């Protein structure tokens, strides 16, 4: 039987990774956080002191390093990468790197390879439109920018990351704009995706809705 693919896209803070992760756990599918891959390469660029505008050096680095998921954890050249990819430094730079076509090609090839022989829930910006165009279920999660910023602020506060609501809202707005306006695989809803506004919904309500939609498609 062909593996099942669930594609979840949407802007920052819409609830993609929380929902995708929990859904994968319940369905016993593999969860792939593609944003973590773009964050991972950005983290390496910063760590190695590479100029964010030096696209040649960034592409060379992406070809050289090995980004991999093992049991849901991200590894770069066999080193486990955790919360360091969620820092403000990474968040502020990631969309500059994610708009480079050669970087996207490397990431997309790796993402498609993972989905060849297992059931996956994959979240990102271009999963339904580009990475897994034949996914059996495509979802596009949204929420107001105020709600998304509030959620992210709350999340970082709980992890004792020093930041402000204003700073987060500015970062999210800027990233959304760059992701939506880039020429290569921009953030846009796939024609065959189902839109879910998460603003006033609980995580459990959304998961139940998705499980219902999946049942309609694969049973």
Which spans of this chain sit near ligand CDP (rule: CB under 6 A)? 10, 12-18, 34-35, 38-39, 94-95, 98, 124-126, 151-152, 155, 175, 179, 198, 201-203, 206
Q: Consult the annotation and say whether 16 binds a ligand.
A: yes
Calculate the alpha carbon distances from 153 to 7, 15, 66, 77, 113 in Å. Answer: 26, 13, 31, 31, 34
Asked if residue 87 belongs to a known ligand binding site, the reply is no
For the beta carbon of residue 67, count every other beta carbon within 10 angstroms: 19
Which residue reads 């773009």 in tokens?
A: 38
Instruction: Provide the minimum distance between the beta carbon of 83 and ligand CDP in the complex, in angstroms, as a whole number.
Output: 12
Sign of the CA dihedral with 213 first, then 16, 176, and 40 last: negative
Closest to ligand CDP by CB, 17 vs 163, is 17
For ligand CDP, the nearest residue by Cβ is 35
Q: How far is the CB of 152 from ligand CDP (least distance, A)?
A: 6
The residue assigned the tokens 């993972």 is: 114
Nearer to ligand CDP, 25 or 218 (CB): 25
Compute the least distance from the CB of residue 10 to ligand CDP, in Å.
6
Phi, psi values for residue 139, rounded to 5°: -125, 145
Q: Which is nearer to ligand CDP, 105 or 155 (CB)?
A: 155
* 10 among annotated binding-site residues: yes
Structure tokens belonging to residue 49: 């002191």
Angle among Cα 180, 183, 187 to the nearest 5 degrees reads: 30
| Alpha carbon of residue 26 to chain centroid | 20
CB of 100 to ligand CDP, least distance (A): 10
Is 14 labelled a binding residue? yes
Q: Point out the annotated binding site.
A: 10-18
């Amino acid at each position: 039987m062909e593996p099942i693919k669930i594609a979840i896209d949407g802007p920052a803070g819409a609830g993609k990774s929380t929902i995708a992760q929990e859904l994968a756990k319940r369905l016993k599918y593999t969860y792939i956080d593609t944003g973590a891959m773009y964050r991972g390469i950005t983290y390496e660029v910063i760590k190695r002191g590479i100029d964010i505008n030096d696209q040649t050096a960034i592409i060379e680095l992406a070809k050289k390093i090995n980004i991999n998921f093992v049991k849901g954890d991200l590894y770069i050249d066999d080193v486990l990468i955790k919360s360091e990819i969620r820092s403000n430094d990474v968040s502020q730079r990631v969309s500059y790197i994610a708009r480079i076509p050669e970087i996207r090609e490397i990431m997309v090839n790796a993402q498609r390879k993972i989905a060849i022989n297992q059931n996956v829930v994959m979240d990102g910006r271009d999963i339904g439109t580009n990475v897994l165009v034949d996914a059996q279920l495509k979802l596009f999660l949204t929420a107001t920018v105020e709600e998304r910023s509030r959620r992210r602020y709350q999340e970082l506060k709980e992890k004792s990351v020093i930041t402000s609501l204003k700073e987060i809202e500015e970062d999210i707005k800027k990233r959304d704009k760059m992701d939506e306006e880039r020429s290569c695989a921009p953030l846009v809803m796939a024609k065959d995706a189902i839109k879910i506004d998460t603003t006033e919904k609980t995580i459990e309500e959304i998961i139940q809705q998705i499980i219902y939609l999946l049942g309609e498609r694969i049973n």
